[in-house]
A = this chain, B = another copy of it.
Amino acid sequence: MKKTVRLGLAQINCTVGDLEGNSEKIISYIQKGREKGVDIISFPEMAITGYPPDDLLLKPGFIRDNMEALNLVARQCTDITAIVGFVDATKAPSPGKGEARGRLAYNAAAVIHNGKIKVVSHKIILPNYGVFDERRYFIAGSKCLVFELDDIIFGVNICEDIWHAEGPTGIQALKGKADLIININASPFHAGKHKERAHVLARRVAESGVAIAYTNLVGGQDELVFDGGSMIFDSSGKIVAGAPLFEEALLVADINLEKEAKQVDRNKGIDEELTISSSLLQGTLKPKKELLEPPLSKELKPLEEIYKALILGTRDYVLKSGFKKTIIGLSGGIDSALTAIIAVDALGADKVLGVAMPSRYSSQGSIDDARLIASNLGIEFSIISIEDIFKTFLSSLEPAFEGYEADVTEENLQARIRGTLLMALSNKFGSMVITTGNKSEMGVGYSTLYGDMAGGFSVLKDVPKTLVYELAELRNEMEGFDIIPRNSITKPPSAELRHEQVDQDSLPPYDVLDTILQEYIENELSINEIVALGYEKATVSQVLKMVDSNEYKRRQAAPGVKITPKAFGRDRRMPIVNKFRR
C-alpha cells in the first residue's frame, strides 16, 4: 500500500533538568522504534529538558548543554526519522520589542534524519496563561514546516500550536499539502482534559483533512502531572490508535495516508503572517509485510483518572526528589486515610510510615481507626502522644499568656507539635512527610501553618472534600472491601483540637462549601453572582473572605497534584496583600 507510514509515539517520562537521563531514554526508545520497523518516531515537547524547566531556561549553560544532549541523540538516530522536543538557542540577542528581554530560546522540535538534525521547527503559539509562562522564556516561531519523505508529506508542530484553528496546522495541510501532522506535547492533566484534547484534534482534522499524531509527555513534575494518552487520528477524524494514560508507552501504528478528496474549508482562520517552508528528507518508507493492528487504550472513568493522577504525581515527586520513604500523620480521619493509601499505591506499603499523635482531645475511636487503616494497608505504624509536650509548652507559655483565655492558639499549638514530631521523624529517617489537607481546607485556611501543613508534598491539595469522599469510595470498591474503614468515611469530620469540635462548627456543610469555592476560584464569579445561584449571602461572604485572607498560608504550602482546571499554586497567582472584597 502506497502512503503507509509506521509511526511510533514515544510517550516517555522525562525529568526536568536531567539532560543525560532524558537523552538516554530517548535513545533507548529510538532503538525500540527501530526494532519495530517504525518510520517516524516522535517524542514529547521538550523531551530533552523535561517540562517545565522554568527559570533553568534563563541559564545559557542549561541551553548549551541541552543542545549537546540533542546532538548526542541525533548521532544515534539512523535508519529512522525522529521528532525530538528540545530548546533551541537563539543565535543573536532576542529581537523585537522590549518584551523579549531575557528570552534566549525557542521551544523547538528537531527533525532528525540519517543521524543528523535536518531542520528545526519552532513553536508558534506560546501559552502564557494558567500554569504556563512560555512568553517569559521563548520567542515565537513564525515558519510552518512540512517534510517530504518518500511519498508522504508531514508537518510538525508543538502543543498549543494545534489548539487553534488559525495556527500552523491549517497552513501545513492546505498550503503545505501535508497528509499528516506530528504534534508533540507536554500537556498537563486536569479532570476531563484527555477528552478535551481529543475534541480539539478532531476539529483540526475536520478543518484541514490531515491525519494527526499527538504525542504527550507522561509523569509528575512538582504540581503538574502529564497524563500521556498519546493518540492518532486518521484523516476521517477517527481515533485509530491510543496509548494508555499515566504510563510510559511506545505506541506503534501503521497509518495509510491515501485519503479521499475531502471538502475542507481552505480559508478558515489562517493567519497570513505565518509562512510555509518545505524540506525533502532523502529516504524511503520501510516496506510493510503486514499492517499492524494498532492498540486503542481503555477509557478510564473520571474518578479513576483522578485517582491515577494522584498516584503518579506522588510517586514522581517523592522519587524524583531523591526520597524513598514517606511519613504520614494518621488521625483516623478520611483525609489522612486516603493520603496513606495513595502513598501505598504510589510507592508500596513498605515505604510508608503511619504515625498517630493523640492528644487529650482525641477519641479512642480515632486512634482505633488510625490503627485499623495502618493494618489494612500493611504499613508500619507508631503512636506518639503529644500530651506531655503540649503540657510543657503550656507551662512554658504560662507567664506570657497570663490573663488571656484559651483560644485558637492552643489548637494551633497541638497541630504544630504534630508537625514538629513528623519533621523530626523525617529528619531522622530521611523520609518525606506527606501532608493530608484537602482543597476545601486549603481554600478557606482551615489548617495550621507549620502544623498539619508541614511536609514536602500535599497530595490532596487540589481535591475538594466532597471528592475526597468519592475517591475513598472508589478505592474501597477497587479493593472489594472497606480498606478505608467505613467509620472514617461516615463520622462527622473533626480536627479534634478541642472538646467536641467538628469542622461544621466553623465551616458550612462541605457540599455547599465546595460549590462556592468552585464558583469563586475556578469560575471567577463575584459574590453577587454566587448568591444569585441560590446561596445565602452571609455564607458566601464568609467563605470568600476566608479564601482571600488566607493567601499567606497557601503561599507557604507544599506543592500538590493539580487535578482541577484551577489549582492553588502556579495556576492561581493571587497577591497576599489584597483589599479587593466585592
> What residues make up the interface of A, taking CB atoms closer than 8 Å to B?
15-19, 21, 52-56, 58-62, 65, 97-99, 101-103, 124-130, 133, 135-136, 140, 160, 163-164, 166-167, 221-222, 271, 316-317, 320-321, 382, 384-386, 388-389, 391-393, 395-397, 399-401, 404, 407-409, 412-413, 416-417, 419-421, 423-425, 427-428, 449-450, 454, 456, 524-526, 529, 552, 555-559, 572-582
Contacts and interface: CB of A to CB of B under 8 A. Distances in A.
Contact of A419 (B164, B450, B524): B450
A436 B429 CA distance: 28
B416 A420 contact: yes
Contacts of A400: 382, 384, 425, 428
B578 A16 contact: yes
A163 B420 contact: no
Contact of A577 (B271, B320, B389, B557): B320
A427 B408 contact: yes
Given A98-B167, A388-B395, A408-B427, A577 B54 contact: no
Q: Which 10 A-B pairs have the closest CB atoms?
A: A17-B580, A61-B526, A18-B579, A98-B164, A409-B427, A450-B450, A392-B392, A102-B129, A135-B135, A17-B578
What copy number does this chain have within its complex? 2
B427 A321 contact: no
Contact of A59 (B53, B99, B524, B575): B524
Contacts of A222: 575-577
Given A21-B579, A97-B125, A103-B129, 14 more contacts: A17-B578, A54-B574, A55-B572, A59-B526, A97-B166, A98-B125, A98-B163, A128-B135, A135-B135, A317-B577, A401-B428, A419-B450, A420-B420, A423-B449
Contact of A450 (B127, B160, B454): B454
Given A135-B99, A389-B392, A401-B428, A552 B321 contact: yes
Contacts of A166: 97-98
A396 B404 contact: no
15 contacts: A21-B579, A54-B573, A54-B575, A55-B573, A59-B524, A61-B526, A101-B129, A133-B136, A317-B577, A321-B577, A382-B400, A393-B420, A396-B421, A412-B424, A412-B427
Contacts of A18: 579-580
